[in-house]
Chain A
Amino acid sequence: MNSQDTKPRSFQEIILRLQAYWSGRGCAVMQPYDMEVGAGTFHPATTLRSLGSRPWAAAYVQPSRRPTDGRYGENPNRLQHYYQYQVLIKPSPPNLQALYLGSLEAIGIDMALHDIRFVEDDWESPTLGAWGLGWEVWCDGMEVSQFTYFQQVGGHDCHPVSGELTYGLERLAMYVLGIDHVMDMPYNDPEAPHPLSYGDVFRQTEQEFSRWNFDVADTQVLLRHFEEAEAECAAILARPDHDPKTGQRIVMAHPAYDQCIKASHIFNLLDARGVISVTERQAYIGRVRALARMCADAFVRTDAGGHVA
């Protein structure tokens, strides 16, 4: 492992240092969720696990997709696919701010030289029926993280409260590494036998997905998928808790939530295709929120959600 005293040299080294740091602070280091999501918050390790009374501590990288942000790999900061680093600890520890600042030190930001600020930024996710209070964290005038105390998720009050940290990895890494265009950022060690830049890894996919997102994705198919995911989510949750095959009580919160994630991402794609009007937009968001609520209701009836038989 690299020492904290040396500056990281690549994108992946920053990720590895964050993994090591939060692992060392007792978090379960998880892997990305295997579905398309708009932000790390959608990972069930955050959305569902922030509900109920059981303690939780997880950290993970989550690839995130924002179809409308695609710029064919040309914009220095904007990408339709990027990485978030997400930490969720429940209950939020009293020293969460200090822990967070420690993570910045771990990736080479010297607190004595930089100006770190906590600037009011309340978080709200209309699609998840969730909100919290917190800040965006500034380092020398640049937003490097979101810091949120969850108050409500899926329409449920959070008891206890989870503390959530979200790092926009590309932007943070560009700052730490002193890079102006994301595609120029070293992905692996610049002195490796095959040094790869972020552009080597992602420029082509940014182009391909930008084209597909904006002009090609079949809106009729997407609309149908949305309806199907919505119907499937409700159908899963309509099943009785009792599983006749095993004879056990199995509430299918996670499979239902997968459908909610799916519907949410399809909505984002439809939005990027420009086929959702301003008024329809609110209605779609409301439909996804209804799914998120149903899943949250189901999760709190599970063991992990604190349900006691």
Chain B
Amino acid sequence: MADLLIELFSEEIPARMQARAAQDLRARMTDGLVEAGLTYSGAVAHHTPRRLVLSVQGLLDQSPTLREERKGPRVDAPEKAVEGFLRGAGVERSQLQERDDKKGRVYFAVIEHPGRPAADIVAETLENVVRNFPWPKSMRWGSGSLKWVRPLHSILCILTADSGEAQVVPLDIDGITAGSTTYGHRFMAPDRFDVSSYDDYAAKLRRERVMLDAGERADHIWQEAQNIAFSQGLEVVEDKGLLAEVAGLVEWPVTLMGKIDEEFLDLPAEVLQTSMKEHQKFFSVRNVRNGDSAGRIVRFVTVANIETPDHGKTILAGNQKVLSARLADAKFFWENDLRIVREKGLEGMAQGLADVTFHRKLGSQADRVARIEALAREIAPHVGAKPDLAAEAARVAKADLQSEMVGEFPELQGVMGRYYADAAGHDDGVPEACEDHYKPLGPGDAVPSAPVSVAVALADKIDTLTGFWAIDEKPTGSKDPYALRRAALGVIRLVLGNELRLGLTELLTSASRQLHMQWSASAVVAVWYERVAPNKLEPRERSAGWDASLDAKYDAVVYKATTESGTPDLDGTDWAENLNNFFDRYVGPFPHAITVSRAVPDLLAFLHDRLKVHLRDEGIRHDVIDACLAMEGNDDLTLLVKRAEALSDFLKTDDGENLLQGFKRANNILAQAEEKDGVEYSFGADAKFAEVEEERALFAALKEADKAIKPAMEAEDFAAAMAAMAALRPAADAFFEAVQVNAENPVVRRNRLNLLGRIRGICLQVADLTSVEG
């Protein structure tokens, strides 16, 4: 047995790639070793900014000898056949054995594959792994052709025997010869040193100022940061992603706490935090929470990679200076943005959105805002919001995209919108909507519940979905560049989380209509520019040389186009006439109705698919969901889920079993008869044709059940309705016991089938039970 130690020492590996690379090194090396016959007892990988390290324990000293037997031709086979066999097996004729076989006497070749020393196998495997390493991006350097994430400088590769003796694995990859040495910390211990085992390596590295284990580095940073903060009565704002990243930027973490200049402390906490994190990779440190008020951010923690004689004083001073320059920028943005919204309002800030393309085919951000506004207004009454407020919120919710702050920190979109909406004097849930209309962002993100926020959030997502559906940019497989699955799940969670009763078909159609009206309008405007006013083409230069008469005509075109639901044919030679006619004409059939009629059901089906995934995660069976999807009103997701949950719960009870079995029995008989007769038995059962007591009893039971089912269905109390249906089971069972449904008398037979048809009809009111398995 031996232990294997590998260190691949390179220039700085990007922090985000290190952990994955260490895993890949472990998996690919151990897979390769095992495939070559070298088993082992354990393997651990580590990573630092400059090293990938693998330690394999309990590796076999050599791979086992393998014996292979191959059956050849009969001994009396033609010479050519025997020679071919010898070539194929790679053996001499003298090594062949003759044995008896079913077919007679045949040749056997016995081939021995001797075991190979571990060093050879390790060398071969490691070379293969290095040459084919799955870096997300790799590069060449100097004159070589080897690829690595950054220049690879040295390879340490040793096998340590139980005796403690270490052997360098003989390996040379494009001039990099494996050895038993490595280097310490770049600045504090740059000299080369020799190692004899993993333990020796880890111990010497620590002496040479390298903390090998990334987890230990992260723990150390977090512990130190908390201690420093705590000693001054402060606390560090937790950020696991940042912690992992910072641990990947240093080999010897030294944690330092610095001050934020007084003049920046009034910036919004999110701004301080984002600026410090994104630009400087600083942790935020805040005053300890006092009651309800969250503590203000007052300090930062930075992690250096070096211990200095002045205990980090120079480093901290430098970092503080850089931070002040950054925050001066942020403060400048903040004050500028505030000045603009106070002077011109958020609408003023939003003006520039007309020049920002949302998507080439879906117009500008301003076009999109106009669509969202119309839709939010329409949704408002369904969610308990005032339409005017919802429209106001939609109009300003994207304004902050034009702010300098969001230009600098895109991740602050929404957050800044809320601050600026407050500053501009918006109220009544509008500022909250500016922030919350992006939510929910993921499965774990909270769903907004304030009515105005809900209206805008829904409108935003429905517009996005409708738009990309209309231009046929649906998600396929793993590709979903516009995050449409997330938008769909957002719609679902907004509806369900707030128990909204909405007909989605209507909303999706409205959203499509908004889009198509804009398309019509922009087609008209394009032609207007091109053909009517070719010298006034640049909208941004409209002020220069644009006279009032043109303006009036232009506005007329746009007004008509956006308010009417017709569009002229502008492609042919008759465009001018068509344009004229267009002015004269009033409402005509919506020209894109075909597209809409295809896109809307398709999009609803997509939403249903996402809902299925969502409900499956909540433990509702696939067939149960299908049974409910088949019902009318399935674009009301709240009703749909209510139905599915009731059915799912009910099927788990004895009554559920009764309902299902009763229904299936009736349905099976009916289905056979209907197929044979070519008619549907669904109407006209009459108790007067009943011949036996059990039959009459079933009629009576049905009448009784109807009394309970009807009001229950009206109240959408599916559980009560299903309980009443299940209660039919004894009467139905007795009926089947006593009665031959397919009676001789055709009148009696038809009456009985129609009776079963009534049972089926009643049961199908709640869900399409034919889809339910069991």
Residues of B within 8 A of A279 (CB): 357, 360
12 further A-B pairs in the complex, CB-CB below 8 A; given A76-B325, A91-B142, A118-B12:
A91-B141, A91-B143, A94-B142, A115-B306, A122-B137, A133-B138, A133-B149, A141-B280, A141-B302, A142-B318, A149-B150, A160-B144
Q: Is the CB of B357 within 8 A of A278?
A: yes
Verify A141–B139 contact, CB threshold 8 A: no
Q: Looking at the complex, which one of B137, B141, B153 makes contact with A161 (CB distance below 8 Å)? A: B141
Which of A112, A115, A139, A160 interacts with B143 by CB under 8 Å? Answer: A160
CA distance A160 to B143 in the complex (A): 4
| Complex Cα gap A160–B139 (Å) | 12
Contact of B153 among A76, A94, A140 (CB under 8 A): A94
Known A-B contacts A112-B309, A161-B140; the reply to A140 vs B315 at CB < 8 A is: yes
**Known: A77-B325, A113-B310, A278-B357. Is A149-B143 also a contact (CB below 8 A)?**
no
| Chain A contacts for B355, CB-based, 8 A | 277
A133: chain B residues within 8 A (beta carbon): 137-139, 149-150
A119: chain B residues at CB < 8 Å are 12, 249
Report the bound CA distance from A77 to B322 in whole Å: 11
| B139: nearest chain-A partner, CB-CB | A133
Q: Which of B458-516 contact A (CB under 8 A)?
A: none
Distance A283 CA – B12 CA, assembled complex (angstroms): 36
Contact assessment for B357 and A114 in the assembled complex, using a CB-CB cutoff below 8 Å: no
B308 within 8 A of A: yes
Within 8 A of B (CB), among A145-161: 149, 151, 158-161
Does A93 lie at the interface of the complex (its beta carbon under 8 Å from any beta carbon of B)?
A: yes
- Residue pair A120, B319 in contact (C-beta under 8 Å): no
CB–CB A151/B139 < 8 A: yes
Q: Is A135 an interface residue (CB 8 A)?
A: yes
User: Of all chain B residues, which has the CB nearest A77?
Assistant: B325
Asked if A31 is at the interface (CB within 8 A of a chain B CB), the reply is no
Q: How many residues of B contact A (CB 8 A)?
A: 43
Among B15, B143, B305, chain A packs the most CB atoms within 10 A around the CB of: B143
Query: Judging by beta carbons under 8 Å apart, are A149 and B141 in contact?
Result: yes
Whether A139 and B360, one on each chain, are in contact in the complex, defined by CB atoms closer than 8 angstroms, is no
**Interface flag for A231 (CB, 8 Å):** no
Distance in angstroms from B307 CB to nearest chain A CB is 10
C-alpha spacing A142/B325, complex, angstroms = 10
Residue of A nearest to B147 (CB): A151
Assess whether A307 is interfacial by the CB under 8 Å rule.
no
Q: Which of A92, A111, A141 contacts B142 (CB 8 A)?
A: A92
Q: Is A132 an interface residue (CB 8 A)?
A: yes
A-side contacts of B141, CB under 8 Å = 91-92, 149, 161, 163
Residue pair A175, B11 in contact (C-beta under 8 Å)? no
A117 at the interface (CB under 8 A from B): yes
> Is the beta-carbon distance between B315 and A115 smaller than 8 angstroms?
yes
CA of A231 to CA of B433, assembled, Å: 53
A2 contacts partner chain B, Cβ-Cβ < 8 Å: no
Bound Cα distance A180, B608 (Å)? 59
Given contacts A94-B142, A132-B139, contact A113 B14 (CB under 8 A): no
Which residues of A are at the interface with B, using a C-beta cutoff of 8 A? 76-77, 91-94, 97, 111-120, 122, 132-135, 139-142, 149, 151, 158-161, 163, 175, 180, 277-279
Kindly list chain B residues whose C-beta atoms are within 8 Å of the C-beta of A142. 318, 321-322
Instruction: Please report the C-alpha to C-alpha distance between residue A139 and residue B305 in the assembled complex, in whole angstroms.
Output: 11
CB 8 Å contact bits of B120-145 with A (1 = contact, 0 = none): 00000000000000000111111110
Q: Which of B49, B309, B356 contacts A113 (CB 8 A)?
A: B309
Complex interface: chain B residues within 8 A of A97 (CB)? 11
Report if B225 contacts A (CB, 8 A): no
Query: Which residues from chain A contact B187 at a C-beta distance below 8 Å?
Result: 111-112, 116
Interchain CB contact under 8 A, A140 and B14: no
For A118, give the chain B residue with the smallest CB separation: B12
Can you name the residue of chain B whose Cβ is closest to the Cβ of A120? Answer: B14
Closest residue of chain A to B15 (Cβ to Cβ) is A120
Residues of B within 8 Å of A141, CB to CB, are 280, 302, 318-319, 322-323
For residue B58, CB closer than 8 A to chain A, the reply is: no
Q: Roughly how many angstroms separate A123 CA and B150 CA in the complex, as a whole number?
A: 14
Q: Are the CB atoms of A114 and B315 closer together than 8 Å?
A: yes
Closest to B310 in A: A113
Q: Are B12 and A135 in contact (CB under 8 A)?
A: yes
Q: Tell me whether B16 is interfacial, beta carbon within 8 Å.
A: yes
B142 and A161 within 8 A (CB): yes
- Cβ of A92: which chain B residues have Cβ within 8 Å of it? 141-142, 151
Q: With A76-B325, A161-B140, A279-B357 as known contacts, state yes or no: A117 contacts B153, CB within 8 Å.
A: no
Q: List 18 A-B contacts (CB under 8 A).
A: A91-B141, A91-B143, A92-B141, A94-B153, A113-B310, A113-B315, A114-B306, A115-B304, A117-B12, A117-B305, A119-B12, A119-B249, A140-B322, A141-B302, A149-B151, A160-B142, A161-B143, A180-B321
**Does B563 belong to the interface (CB within 8 Å)?**
no
Q: Are A113 and B139 touching (Cβ within 8 A)?
A: no
> A14 vs B14: C-alpha distance in the bound complex, in angstroms?
30
**A112-B187, A140-B315, A278-B357 given as contacts; is B142 within 8 A of A118 (CB)?**
no
A135 to B49, CA, bound (A): 12
User: How far apart are the CA atoms of A149 and B146 in the complex, in Å?
Assistant: 14
- Compute how far the CA of A108 lies from the CA of B260 in the bound complex, rounded to whole angstroms: 27
A149 to B143, CA, bound (A): 12
Q: Please name all residues of chain A whose beta carbon is closer than 8 Å to the beta carbon of B309 when the two chains form the complex.
A: 112-113
With beta carbons under 8 angstroms apart, the residue of B49, B140, B305, B325 that contacts A151 is B140
Whether B771 is near chain A, meaning CB under 8 Å from some CB there, is no
Residue among A92, A117, A122, A132 with the most chain B CB within 10 A?
A: A117
Q: Which chain B positions have C-beta within 8 A of A120? A: 12, 14-16
B314 at the interface (CB under 8 A from A): yes
**Alpha-carbon separation in the docked complex, A223 to B626 (Å):** 61
**Cβ–Cβ < 8 Å partners of A140 in chain B:** 314-315, 317-319, 322
Name which residue of chain A comes closest to B323, CB basis: A141
Residues of B within 8 A of A118 (CB): 11-12, 49
| Chain B residues closer than 8 Å to A139, beta-carbon distance | 318
B314→A114 contact, CB < 8 A: yes
Q: Pick the 10 closest A-B CB pairs, nearest first.
A: A140-B318, A120-B14, A118-B12, A141-B319, A160-B143, A115-B304, A133-B139, A91-B142, A91-B143, A142-B322
Give Cα A76–Cα B139 distance, bound, in whole angstroms: 37
Chain A residue nearest in CB terms to B302 = A141
Query: Chain B 246-279, CB within 8 Å of chain A: the 1/0 string?
Result: 0001100000000000000000000000000000
B257 → chain A closest CB, angstroms: 14
Complex contacts, B317 vs chain A, CB 8 Å = 140
On chain A, the residues within 8 Å of B49 by CB distance are: 118
Chain A residues in 8 Å Cβ range of B11: 97, 118
Question: Shortest CB–CB separation between residue A205 and chain B, in angstroms?
Answer: 23
CB neighbours of A115 from chain B (8 A): 304-306, 315, 318
Q: How far is the CA of A279 from the CA of B358 in the complex (A)?
A: 11
